[in-house]
Chains A and B, each alone.
Chain A
Amino acid sequence: MVAPAVIVTAALVLYPLIAGFVTSLRSGDVALGEQSRFVGLGNYGDVVSSSTVHEAVAHTLVYVVLAVTLELALGLIVAIALHHVFPGRGIVLAILILPWALPSVVSGVLWRRMFDPDSGLLNSVLMQLHLVSHPQVWLASRTWALAFITLVHVWSVLPLVSLVLIAGLQNIPDDVYSASAVDGATPLRQFRHITLPLLRPSIAVALTIGTVWAIKIFDEIYVLNGTALNTRSIVMEVYTTTFVNADFPHGTALAFLLTGITAVLAAGYALAFGRSRT
C-alpha cells in the first residue's frame, strides 16, 4: 500500500533533487552548446557575487518583512474580531477564506486594474481628490511596486494566518480572562499579558507560514510586473536565469541556496519558539 507513494516521491522528488544538485555543480551553457564539466561550488560563488541576485535578495527581504508584519498585525485584528460567536459568523468566516481559495494569478489580475496607469482605480481616485495631477505609473516605481505586490500577496495569505490565530485564541480558556478582570486588568493589559503569551505557539505557526509563502513569492510579481528588474524576487531570478537565459547550472545553484535559507529560517523559528515555551 505504500509502494505507489514511495515510488512517485523517489522518482519525481528525490531523483530531480539529486539531479538538480549535480547540475548546480557543473558548468556549461545549454543554449550555447558548451561542453559540461565539473566546477564544484563555482556556480554558487558566481550567484552569491552577482549584483542582480543581490537586488533580488533585497527585494525578497522587503516582501518577507513587510508581508509577515502585515499578516501578523492584520491577522491578530481579524482573529480578535471573529473569534467570539455572533450571528452570521459562519458566513463571515466563509467570506474570509475566499481570497485564499482563489488562484494567485486571478488575485493578481483582480488587483491589477487598481494600479494600472491608464484605467487604474487608484489614479482616478487620487486625481479626483487632486492628490496627484497626472496618472502615475505605479509599478515602474520600485517602492510602490514592491508595496503593491506585497499587498496582493497579503490579500491571499491573510485568511490562512487569521484561521491559525483564531484557532489559537479558542484554545485560551475564558476563565483566565474573567479571573484577571476580577483582579482589575484592563483589556489592553489582558492582551499584553494573557493573549500574546498564550498565543505564542499559534503566532510561531503563523510566522512560519507567512515567511515560507513570502520567500517564494513569484505568481503575483509575474502577473503585476513580469520579469521587470525593479521587483524581481529570488524565485523570479531563478526563473529568468533558468528559463529565459537558459542557464540551468546557475539557476539551480540559486534555487538550492534559497532552499537552504528557507530551511535555516524555519528551523530557527522552531528553535526560538520551542525553547521559550518550556
Chain B
Amino acid sequence: MTRFRAARFVRTVAIAAIILWSLAPIALGVVTSVSTQADVRAIPLHWLPDHVTMDPYRGLLGGTADIRAGGTVSETGAFAQAMWNSASITLISTLAILCVAISAGYAFARLRFPGRNVLFWVVVATAIIPVFTLVIALFQLLAEAGLIDRKLGLVLVFVSTSTPLAMWLVHNHVKELPTEPEEAALLDGCTRWQAFWHVVLPQMRSSIAALSAILVLSVWGEFLIPLLLTSTSASKPVAVLIPEYVGKYTTNYPLLAAAGVLALLPPAVVALVLNRHIRGMLSGSS
C-alpha cells in the first residue's frame, strides 16, 4: 500500500513537472511582454514586473527605435504586415496542399491506371528529401521566374514540399476505409467524383482536421525557406521578421517577447482546439 502511494506521489510530481516544463517558457514570455525594460534588466531579478505596461505591444505595432545604435528597431506597421503575410500564406498553402494531396491520395488508393505504383512511390519518396537540399536550386529557379519575395513563390514551394507526405497519409487512410459504400454509390449511378465527395470525404473528417492542423502549424512556423525566399515586407512572414528584433548589441526583450506572444497565438489556438485529432494522427502515423 505504501509502495502504491509512493508511486502515485512520484507520478503526480512528474505530471506537475511536465506542465511546468511545457508552460514556463511561454509564461515567462507573456510576463516579459508586459514588463518595462527596467524591470527586465533589474538585478536582483524581478519575477513579476513592478509596472505592468502595454508599451511593448504599442512599440511593436506602432514602431519604435532604440536610441542606442545596434539596438532593437521596430518599423511602424511591419509586424502587422508580417502577421497578415503569415496568415494569408498559411491559409492558401494549407488549402492548396489539402486539395492536391486529398485528390491524389484518393486516386492512388482507388483508381487503376498505368504507371500508378511507380508514380506513387516517386512522389512519396520525394518526402524524404530534406528541404535544405532543394532550397538552393529553388532559389535560383524562383529568381528566374521572378517569384523571389512574392507570396505566390512561397506558396508554390510549400505545396510542393508538403504534398508528398500529406498525400501518403491520405492514401493510407483511404486504403483503410471499406470499399463497399463507394461501390454501392457507383452502382446507384453516382460518378466517381460524386462518390468521392458524398461518400468518402465525410468519413475522413477527423483525419482531414488533423492534417489541416499539422499543415497550418508547419507552414506558420517554417523559417529557413522564407528566410531565403523573401526579403521585404511584401512577403516576409512573421517567423522571419521576429529574429530581426534581436539587436546587434542590445535587445529590447519586452518588445521581442510581445512579438513572440502574438506569433504563437494562432498556432497555440489551433493546437489546443484540434489537439485530440492532432494526437491521434501523430501517434497513429508511427
Residue from B15, B223, B227 in contact with A82 in the complex, judged by beta carbons closer than 8 Å: B15
Q: CB-nearest residue of chain B relative to A167?
A: B283
Known contacts A5-B167, A103-B264: does B28 contact A121 (CB below 8 Å)?
yes
The answer to whether A119 touches B253 (Cβ under 8 A) is yes
Residue from A12, A106, A168, A252 in contact with B136 in the complex, judged by beta carbons closer than 8 Å: A252
Indicate with 1 or 0, residue by residue over B1-38, a CB within 8 angstroms of chain A CB atoms.
00000010001001100110111011011001000000
Chain A at the B interface: SS class: helix
A272 within 8 Å of B (CB atoms):
no
Residues on B with C-beta less than 8 A from A266 are: 128
Q: How far is the CA of A238 from the CA of B149 in the complex (A)?
A: 21
Q: How far is the CA of A164 from the CA of B281 in the complex (A)?
A: 10
Known contacts A9-B163, A109-B257: does B282 contact A164 (CB below 8 Å)?
yes
Known contacts A9-B164, A113-B253: does B224 contact A219 (CB below 8 Å)?
yes
A41 within 8 Å of B (CB atoms):
no
The answer to whether A106 touches B260 (Cβ under 8 A) is yes
Known contacts A12-B138, A259-B130: does B156 contact A97 (CB below 8 Å)?
no
Q: How far is the CA of A78 from the CA of B260 in the complex (A)?
A: 27
The answer to whether A8 touches B126 (Cβ under 8 A) is no
CB distance from A80 to the nearest CB of B (A): 8
The answer to whether B136 touches A248 (Cβ under 8 A) is yes
Count residues of B near A (Cβ-Cβ below 8 Å): 85
Q: CB-nearest residue of chain B relative to A84?
A: B11
Residues on B with C-beta less than 8 A from A112 are: 246, 251, 256
Indicate with 1 or 0, residue by residue over B23-57, a CB within 8 angstroms of chain A CB atoms.
10110110010000000110111000000000000
The answer to whether B18 touches A82 (Cβ under 8 A) is yes
The answer to whether B160 touches A17 (Cβ under 8 A) is no
Chain B residues 157 to 173 lying within 8 A of chain A, measured CB to CB, are 157, 159-161, 163-164, 167
Chain B residues 93 to 107 lying within 8 A of chain A, measured CB to CB, are 99-101, 103-104, 106-107
A146 within 8 Å of B (CB atoms):
no
Q: How far is the CA of A160 from the CA of B14 in the complex (A)?
A: 18
Chain B at the A interface: SS class: helix
Q: How far is the CA of A95 from the CA of B140 in the complex (A)?
A: 41
A94 within 8 Å of B (CB atoms):
yes
Q: How far is the CA of A218 from the CA of B140 in the complex (A)?
A: 21
Residue from A8, A107, A187 in contact with B25 in the complex, judged by beta carbons closer than 8 Å: A107
Chain A residues 80 to 117 lying within 8 A of chain B, measured CB to CB, are 81-82, 84, 86, 90, 92-114, 116
The answer to whether B250 touches A19 (Cβ under 8 A) is no
The answer to whether A119 touches B44 (Cβ under 8 A) is no
The answer to whether B271 touches A8 (Cβ under 8 A) is no
Residue from A6, A103, A251 in contact with B263 in the complex, judged by beta carbons closer than 8 Å: A103
A155 within 8 Å of B (CB atoms):
yes
Known contacts A13-B160, A92-B18: does B45 contact A128 (CB below 8 Å)?
yes
Chain A residues 31 to 70 lying within 8 A of chain B, measured CB to CB, are none
Residues on A with C-beta less than 8 A from B111 are: 1
CB distance from A73 to the nearest CB of B (A): 13
The answer to whether B286 touches A99 (Cβ under 8 A) is no
The answer to whether B137 touches A81 (Cβ under 8 A) is no
Give 16 A-B pairs besides A8-B100, A103-B267 with Cβ atoms closer than 8 angstroms. A5-B123, A12-B160, A13-B129, A20-B136, A92-B18, A97-B282, A102-B221, A109-B242, A110-B260, A113-B29, A113-B253, A167-B283, A235-B224, A255-B133, A256-B133, A266-B128
Residues of B within 8 A of A (CB): 7, 11, 14-15, 18-19, 21-23, 25-26, 28-29, 32, 40-41, 43-45, 99-101, 103-104, 106-108, 111, 119, 122-123, 126, 128-130, 132-134, 136-138, 140-141, 156-157, 159-161, 163-164, 167, 217, 220-221, 223-224, 227-228, 239-240, 242-243, 246, 250-251, 253, 256-257, 259-260, 263-264, 267-268, 270-272, 275-276, 278-279, 282-284, 286
